[in-house]
C-alpha cells in the first residue's frame, strides 16, 4: 500500500529522485513543504508543495509502478480545496503521464512545460 506521510528523510530522497530531471539542492527546495511517498514503509519518492505548485519525484527503481487514482487524489485534493487548482512543470518525456491524469499544458519556456489541473 502506498501512503503520503511526514518523514524527516523525504527531502533527501526527493533530491535523489529529482537529480535525473532537475539539478536541485536542499537550498532550492527549502521553501517547499515535502512529504514522503512510502510503499510498505520504504520511501520511494517525495511530494513537494509550494502554494498550488506540486512536484512528485520517484526513485528510478519504483517509476511506473506506484501510481493509483487514490494517490493522485491524495496529492492533489488539498491543493484543489485551498486554491481551486494545481500546477506543475515537466519535460516532453512527462507529457503523456501528466495529460493522462488530467493536467493541461499552459505554456512552454525552453524545454520546460508548465501544466495546470482543476477539479
- The pLDDT score that the predictor gives to residue 36 is 94
Tens of pLDDT, residues 105-115: 999 999 999 99
Residue 67 has pLDDT above 90, yes or no: no
CA–CA gap between residue 34 and residue 104 (Å, rounded): 24
Break the chain into its structural domains and give their ranges.
2-117
- The pLDDT score that the predictor gives to residue 2 is 83
Count of C-beta atoms within a 10 Å radius of residue 73:
12
User: What mean pLDDT do residues 20-33 have?
Assistant: 76
CATH number belonging to the domain at 2-117, selected among 3.50.50.60, 3.40.630.30, 3.40.50.1970, 3.40.50.360: 3.40.630.30
The pLDDT-based confidence of 22 (bands split at 50, 70, 90) is low
- The pLDDT score that the predictor gives to residue 21 is 63
CA–CA gap between residue 115 and residue 99 (Å, rounded): 9
Give 70's contacts (C-beta < 8 A, 6+ positions apart): 2
- The pLDDT score that the predictor gives to residue 52 is 96
Q: Residue 71: which H helix or E strand, with range?
A: helix 69-83
The cell numbers describing 85, all together, are: 487548482
Q: How far is CA 85 from CA 30, 73, 75, 76, 112, in A?
A: 23, 12, 12, 8, 20
Tens of pLDDT, residues 79-91: 999 999 999 999 9
Amino acid at each position: 500500500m502506498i501512503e503520503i506521510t511526514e518523514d524527516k528523510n523525504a527531502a533527501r530522497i526527493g533530491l535523489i529522485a529529482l537529480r535525473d530531471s532537475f539539478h536541485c539542492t536542499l537550498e532550492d527546495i527549502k521553501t517547499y513543504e515535502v512529504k514522503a511517498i512510502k510503499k510498505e514503509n520504504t520511501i520511494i519518492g517525495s511530494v513537494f508543495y509550494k502554494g498550488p505548485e506540486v512536484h512528485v519525484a520517484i526513485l528510478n527503481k519504483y517509476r511506473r509502478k506506484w501510481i493509483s487514482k487514490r494517490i493522485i487524489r491524495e496529492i492533489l485534493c488539498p491543493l484543489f480545496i485551498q486554491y481551486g487548482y494545481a500546477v506543475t512543470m515537466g519535460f516532453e518525456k512527462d507529457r503523456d503521464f501528466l495529460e493522462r491524469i488530467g493536467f493541461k499544458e499552459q505554456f512552454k519556456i525552453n524545454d520546460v512545460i508548465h501544466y495546470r489541473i482543476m477539479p
